Structure 1
Amino acid sequence: MKKVNCENSMYFLSKVLFQSLLLMLCCFSAFVIAKDNVVDGSSNQVRPNFVWLVSEDNNRDYMRLYKEGGARMPNVEQLAANGLVFNQAFSNSPVCSTARTTLALGLYPTMLGMGYHRPYQTVPLPEGVKPISQWMTEAGYYTSNNVKEDYNFVEPDGHWHRSAVGADWRGRKAEQAFFHMQSWNTTHEHKLHFPVTDVGKVDTKYASEDMKVAPIYPNTKTFRYTKARYLEQHEKIDAQIGEVIEKLRDDGVLEDTFIMYFGDHGGVLPGTKGYINERGLAVPLVVRVPKHFEHLVHNDFRGGKGLRVDGVVSFIDFAPTLLQLAGIDAAQKHIGKPFLGDSISLAALNNRNETYGFADRFDEKYDMVRSIRLGPYKYVRHFLPFNPDGLYARYRYKQAAFNEWYDMFKRGKLNDEQSSFFKVKSAEALYDLVNDPYETNNLADDRAYAKELITLRTKLHEKLASLPDLAVLPEKVLMENVAQIDFSYAREQQPLISALLDIAQWQLLPWSEVEHKIKLTLVSDKPWHRYWALNVALSFGKQAKSILPLANSISRFDSERLNRGRALQLLSVFGQGDVSAQFERILAADNNTIEDVYLLNMATQMKQVRGIPFDLSMKPSWQQPPADMKDKDRKWRLESVHNWLVDRIAYLTSN
C-alpha cells in the first residue's frame, strides 16, 4: 500500500473547506442582499418614475384628511402618512380642460386663447411649446395616460407613448423610467345628476342628517343628501387609487416612484366647479417621495414624515416641478416655480403665498372673472358683473340641489348669503379668507382694507396686461385668428389689450367720473373699445340712463353683432325697445356660430334677470355636423356647440 502524505492531504482538505466556506459566505451574502432588496426595495434605476393620480371635480374639504366630517380615504391617508400634505394647493382654473391645459403646458391658457371650456376649436401650439408628456417622452421616459386628456390645444403626435383605457407603465422597456397619469371620473359632477326622488330613498354610507352644508347653501334635506352621496364617491375613488399603488408595489417600483395625488379643480356641489371661489379652485395634493430618490428633495422632506406644507402651490408650478425632478432642462420658459427640489426647503416653500385664478366661458355660459390671492386676502375682478354666477346652464342645473337652490331663490326663501349667487355682482371684491372662507363679506368698500384693495387691484391689472390675457378680446376674434395665435400674436395684441383693460377699469370708478369717457368711447371707430365701454355702462345699471340714445343707435347700426346685443341689454334695463324682435334680427344678421353662443348668453341674462320673454327658433347653420365627418375631435366639439344652442333655445322659449 502506498503511504499517504498527511501534510498534502491536510492542505487539500483545508483548501476544500476554505472554498466551501467561501461559497457558503457568498450564498449567505447573496441571500442577505436579496432579502434587503425585498425589505428596502433597493434599485439600480438611475432616474425616478412619476405617477400622477387625479380625481375629478373635488375640493379638498370633502376629505377627512383636510376637514373633519369629510370622506374616509384610507389609501390617500396612507400616502399622506408617508409623504407630504399640501394645505394650500390650487388649480388656476375651476374646470377640467383649462385646468388640464395649465398642467400640461406650465402656461396660463388665457395667454394663448385656450381659456374656454370647451374650446370651439383647439389652438395649435406655438413653436417651442410642448406639453410635459412630450418633454418626458423626448427625454427617454416611457409615458402613459389612462385616460382623460381634455386639452385646449392641438395635440402633437406621439406626445404620449400610450394614452388609452387601461394604459399603464408595463409597456416600457426593462429599466426604463416612466411617467404615468391616471384620472378617474368617480367624483365627477355627473355623479350628482341623480333624480330628486333618490333623496331619502336611496341609502348612502354617510348619514345625510349628519351632513353640515356651507352657509351659502340652504340647509335642506336635498343638499345634505347630495353631500352624503358625494362623500361616498370619494370612498370609491380611494379604492381605485389603492389599486394603482398596490400595482406599483407588486412591480417592485414603489420606492422608485414619486406619487402625486390631486384633484383637477374644485367642486362639485352647486356653485363650485366653474366658479372662481375657493370651493372651485382649492384641491387636495398629497406627494409621496420614494426612498431611492429622496436625495432629489430637500432634507426637510425626506423620511416619509407625514409633513403638512402651508405654502401656496398651484397648477402653474406642476410642470417645472416634474421636469426638475426628472432632470430635464426644458428650453420652454414655464411661468411657475418648482415646489420640490434639493434646494427648496420647507421654510422657503411655506413663504409662498400667492396664486392666480381665471374663469371664462364654461360650456354655453359666458363670464370673465380673474382673481389673485396674496396671503389671507383674495381679490376678485368680475369683468362682466351683470352676469349672475347662477346664470342658467343646462349641465349645472342637472343637479337636484342646484334646481332646488334656484327655486328657493325665486320664491324668496333664501337669506342674503344664499341668494347672492343668483344676483348681479360687484365689479370687484376683496375677501379675508381666514375669517371669511366662503367669501360672503366683500371688503372692497371698507376703508380699513383700502391698502390691501389697491395693492391687489394693481397687481392683478398689471399681470393681465403683461401676460397678456387674450380673453379681453371676444372669443370670436380669437377663433377667427386661431391659426396665427402664438406669442408673437399676443405681443402684437398687447397694446390693444392694455387699452381695453384700462377701459374696463372704469367700472371701479364713480359714474360721474366715467360718464363722459364712456360717451366718447361709444363713438370710437374701434369696435372693441366700444364693446368694453358698453360692458362698463351696463355694469352701472340704471345710473347709465344718459347713455340710452347712444345705446339705441348702437343696437341698430353697429358693425359688430356683439356690440348691438350688449347695447340691447342696456336698453332692457330701462324697459325700452322691442327686445325680442330686435334680438332676433341681430341673431339672423350673421352665421358665426361661436358668436351666436355669446349672443344667446346675453338673451339668457335678459330673461333670467329682467324677465324678458323670447320667441326664437333654431337657425339652419346650427345643424349637427355630418355623421361621416373624418375629424372626430372636431365633430365632437361641433356636437357640443349644437347641444349648447339647442339648450339655450329651449330655455329662452320656456315659460
Structure 2
Amino acid sequence: MSLRVLLLSSLLIINCYSLLAQNNPTPPPNIVWITSEDNSMHYLKLFNENGVATPNIESLADHGLLFTHAFSNAPVCSVARSTIISGSYAPRIGSQFHRKSKTVPLPDSLRMFPFYLRRAGYHTSNNNKKDYNIIEGEEVWDESSREASWKSRKPDQPFFHVFNIGVSHESSLHFSEEKMKTTPTKTDLSSFSIQPNHPDTELFRYTNSYYRDKIIEMDQRVGEVIRELENDGLLENTFIFYFGDHGGVLPGSKGYLYETGLHVPMVVHVPEKYKNLAQIGEQGKVNGFVSFIDLGPTVLQLAGIKTPDGMDGMPFLGADVTKEMIASRNTSFSYADRFDEKYDMVRAIRKGKYKYIRNYQSFNFDGMMNNYRYIQLAYQEWEELYKKGALNEVQAAFFKPKEVEMLFDVESDPYETVNLISDPTYRKIVEDLRMELNNWLQEMPDLSFYPEHVLIDQAFSNPTDFGIAHQKDIQRYIEIANWSILPFEKVENFLKTSLMSKDPWERYWGLITSSNFGPEAKNLSPLISEISKEDEELINRVRAAEFLAISNQTDPSQVMVESLYQSKKPMEALLILNSIVLLNSFEYGYEIILDTSKITSAVIQDSEVKRRLAYLKGD
C-alpha cells in the first residue's frame, strides 16, 4: 500500500471519529460479544432452576439486562452465524444448509454488519470463529484470528470485539465409555431432573452432569474476558453481550427446532454512562422477544448507525428503541434444513407461549442417522433402547414419523412433549400461527422449496434475485405442501394435477405431500408408479419410489440405486441417500444394498456423501 493511500486512510478514520464525536457528546461505546457454543438457556440456573450456577454471567446481569426470550433462528452453528452476520433470514439469502456446499453472495446492497462499523471508524476484531455460509467480502474485520483483540486498535478508537468460547461444543460430549467409568463429574448426578423425553439412565445422567461441568468451565472463560476488560479500564465504556450461539447438545437439541435447540441465554452488561441507550429497564429482565437477526442491527444502533436496507432484523437497544417497542415483540421464526448429511425441512414460529412447528416431510423422523451426532454415547443408547422397546411413548417419539403440524404450550410443556394440534380448544391459535408462518415463508420467499442441488445450479450466484424472480412459483409449491394439512379426499384431485404438471418442482411437492399422507393416498399409486420410472428429474423418481415404499406397496431399491448411480451432482445424490437411509430404518425396514463402484466420481468424492456411505456400509 502506498504512503498516499495510508495517509488518506488515516485521515478518513480521523474524520469518522470526529463525526461520531459531533453526533454523540459521549464517545461511542465499545461493544464486546462473548458467545458460547451449543448452549440453550435450560442448563444455566440464571434462566432455569434445573441449571448450574454461572457467577460470571450472573455478574453481567447484575449490571445490565437479562433477556428471557432470546432465540437463535437456526439450531446449528453455520446457519445461526450466517443469520447473525447478515441480519437476514437464511432461507431468503441461501445460507440455510449446514455445512455449506457452496458459499453464497449477499445482495449487492448489503454487507456483513461489521463492515458498517469499520466504515464509521470502529476497530472490529473476531476471536475467532466465523463458519459463515456467505462469501465474506473485504473490510469486515480488522483482525480475525486466535490472537485477535481490541488491544491492537488505535488510541481512543471505539471497538467491536467477538470472543468465542468452544469448551461446551457438541464435540465435548464425544467421550468414551472408559472416560465415563474413570472420570467423575463435578456436578452431582442427582442435582437435576432428566427432561421427560429422555430415558433416565446412568449414561444420560452422566452426560447431563458432564455437559453442566462444561458450562461451568465456559462461565470461567467469560469471567476471564470480563477481567481483561476491567484491567484495561474499559468496563465503563463497554457494552458486553453474552449469548449462546444456538441451543444445546443433549440429544434432540442441536439440529432441531425445539426450545432446547433455539432458546438461548442472553445477558447484556450496560455501562452507567450509556443507560440512555438501553431504555428498556434497569438491571432487570426483558421479556420481549429478540432473535439472532436482530443482533447486527442492535450493534449498529448502539454505534449510531442506521440499519441497512436488506436486513430483516430490528434493533433491541439504542437511542431510538423504547421499552414499549421491545415489550410488544412476542414472535420468533426458525428454520431447519440439511445438517451435514441429514436432510429434513422444518419451519416454526414461537409467539408468546405457543410454538407451532411445520414438518414439511413428516416421514423424516428426528432420530434418523446423523453420523457426527451419533458419536455421542447418549444418542447411541437412546436408539438402542428404542430398538428394545424400552422407551415410553414420549421418549420413543424421536424415532417415529412426525405429525405434519405440531403445537406446544412451551410454558406448561417446556420440552414439547404434548402436541395440541388436534385439540379443538386451540383451533384459532393454530389457524393464526399457520397463517403467520405461511405469510413469512411467502414474503421472504423461502428458497428451500427448491432442492439444494437446484439452488446450486440456478440460484446461488444471486440467491435473493432468484427468490424474487421465482416468488410466485415458490408460493405455488407452498400451497401444494400445505395440502398435507387438509383431509386427503379434499385434495386428491389437486394432487393428481400437481403430479402431472410440466413444472418438475410441482411434481416434487406433490410427491412429498403424497408421502405425508402415506397409505391414505394409495389411489395415486398408478400415477406415481409411472413417475418413478420416467420422470426427467432423478430426485422425483426417488420421491415417487419413497411414496410407494412408505405406503407399503413397492420395494424402492431398484429405482433408488439406479438413480443414485446416474447422479452426477453431489447434493442430488446426498438427497437420494437420505431417502435410502430413511427406508433402511426401523419400521420402514427395506434393505437397500449399494455397489459404490457404480457411483460417479464427482459424487463419491463429496465429504457428506462419504458420511452416508460410511454409515450404510457399517464403517
Q: With the length of structure 1 as denominator, give the TM-score of the two structures.
A: 0.88
Deviations for 1:150-181, whole angstroms, at most 9, x for unmatched residues? 11111102310110012111111000000001
The counterpart of 2:194, out of the listed 183, 201, 213, is 213
CA distance in structure 2 between the aligned counterparts of 1:216 and 1:483, rounded to whole angstroms: 39
CA distance in structure 2 between the aligned counterparts of 1:236 and 1:545, rounded to whole angstroms: 55
* SS, match of residue 479 in structure 2: helix
Structure 1 residue 614 corresponds to structure 2 residue 592: yes
Write out aligned runs for 1:553-572 (5 A). 553-572=530-549
Aligned match of 2:11: none
CA separation of 1:133/1:590 partners in 2, compared to 1, >3 Å: closer, same or farther? Answer: same
Contact residue 104 and residue 461 of structure 2 kept, 8 A: no
Write out aligned runs for 1:29-428 (5 A). 46-298=27-279, 300-302=280-282, 305=283, 307-428=284-405
Kindly, what percent of the aligned residue pairs are identical? Answer: 41
For 2:216, the aligned partner's letter is E
The counterpart of 1:462, out of the listed 439, 455, 459, is 439
Structure 1 residue 517 corresponds to structure 2 residue 517: no
CA distance in structure 2 between the aligned counterparts of 1:308 and 1:651, rounded to whole angstroms: 46
TM-fit CA distance, 1:569: 0.8
* SS, match of residue 412 in structure 1: coil
Structure 1 residue 645 corresponds to structure 2 residue 588: no
CA separation of 1:156/1:406 partners in 2, compared to 1, >3 Å: closer, same or farther? Answer: same
Aligned match of 1:594: 571
CA distance in structure 1 between the aligned counterparts of 2:155 and 2:618, rounded to whole angstroms: 62
For 2:591, the aligned partner's letter is P
Contact residue 137 and residue 159 of structure 1 kept, 8 A: yes
CA distance in structure 2 between the aligned counterparts of 1:341 and 1:124, rounded to whole angstroms: 29
Contact residue 593 and residue 622 of structure 1 kept, 8 A: no
RMSD: 1.9
* SS, match of residue 538 in structure 1: helix
Contact residue 84 and residue 293 of structure 2 kept, 8 A: yes
Deviations for 1:408-451, whole angstroms, at most 9, x for unmatched residues? 11111111110011100111111111221111111111111110
Contact residue 346 and residue 358 of structure 2 kept, 8 A: yes
CA distance in structure 1 between the aligned counterparts of 2:519 and 2:607, rounded to whole angstroms: 35
Write out aligned runs for 1:540-555 (5 A). 540-555=517-532
CA distance in structure 2 between the aligned counterparts of 1:167 and 1:576, rounded to whole angstroms: 59
Aligned match of 1:27: none
Structure 1, 72-81 or 224-233: larger mean CA deviation: 72-81
TM-fit CA distance, 1:644: 2.4
CA distance in structure 1 between the aligned counterparts of 2:188 and 2:582, rounded to whole angstroms: 38
Q: Which is higher, the Rg of structure 1 or of structure 2?
A: 1
Aligned match of 1:635: none
Structure 1, 323-332 or 576-585: larger mean CA deviation: 576-585
CA distance in structure 2 between the aligned counterparts of 1:214 and 1:200, rounded to whole angstroms: 23
CA distance in structure 1 between the aligned counterparts of 2:558 and 2:480, rounded to whole angstroms: 31
CA distance in structure 1 between the aligned counterparts of 2:306 and 2:25, rounded to whole angstroms: 23
CA distance in structure 2 between the aligned counterparts of 1:79 and 1:356, rounded to whole angstroms: 27
Contact residue 97 and residue 118 of structure 1 kept, 8 A: yes
CA separation of 1:402/1:392 partners in 2, compared to 1, >3 Å: closer, same or farther? Answer: same
* SS, match of residue 577 in structure 2: helix
Unaligned runs of 5+ in 1: 1-42, 625-637
TM-fit CA distance, 1:292: 2.7
CA separation of 1:524/1:538 partners in 2, compared to 1, >3 Å: closer, same or farther? Answer: same
For 1:204, the aligned partner's letter is T
CA distance in structure 1 between the aligned counterparts of 2:517 and 2:523, rounded to whole angstroms: 11
TM-fit CA distance, 1:623: 5.7
Write out aligned runs for 1:516-535 (5 A). 516-535=493-512
Q: With the length of structure 2 as denominator, give the TM-score of the two structures.
A: 0.93
Q: How many residues align?
A: 595
CA separation of 1:211/1:649 partners in 2, compared to 1, >3 Å: closer, same or farther? Answer: same
* SS, match of residue 289 in structure 2: strand
CA distance in structure 2 between the aligned counterparts of 1:614 and 1:486, rounded to whole angstroms: 36
Unaligned runs of 5+ in 2: 1-23
* SS, match of residue 210 in structure 1: coil
For 1:124, the aligned partner's letter is P
CA separation of 1:574/1:60 partners in 2, compared to 1, >3 Å: closer, same or farther? Answer: closer
Aligned match of 2:17: none
Structure 1 residue 581 corresponds to structure 2 residue 561: no
For 1:70, the aligned partner's letter is G
Structure 1, 314-323 or 273-282: larger mean CA deviation: 314-323
Q: Which 4+ runs in 1 deviate beyond 3 A?
A: 342-348, 574-578, 617-624
CA distance in structure 2 between the aligned counterparts of 1:339 and 1:73, rounded to whole angstroms: 24
Aligned match of 2:516: 539
Contact residue 301 and residue 319 of structure 2 kept, 8 A: no
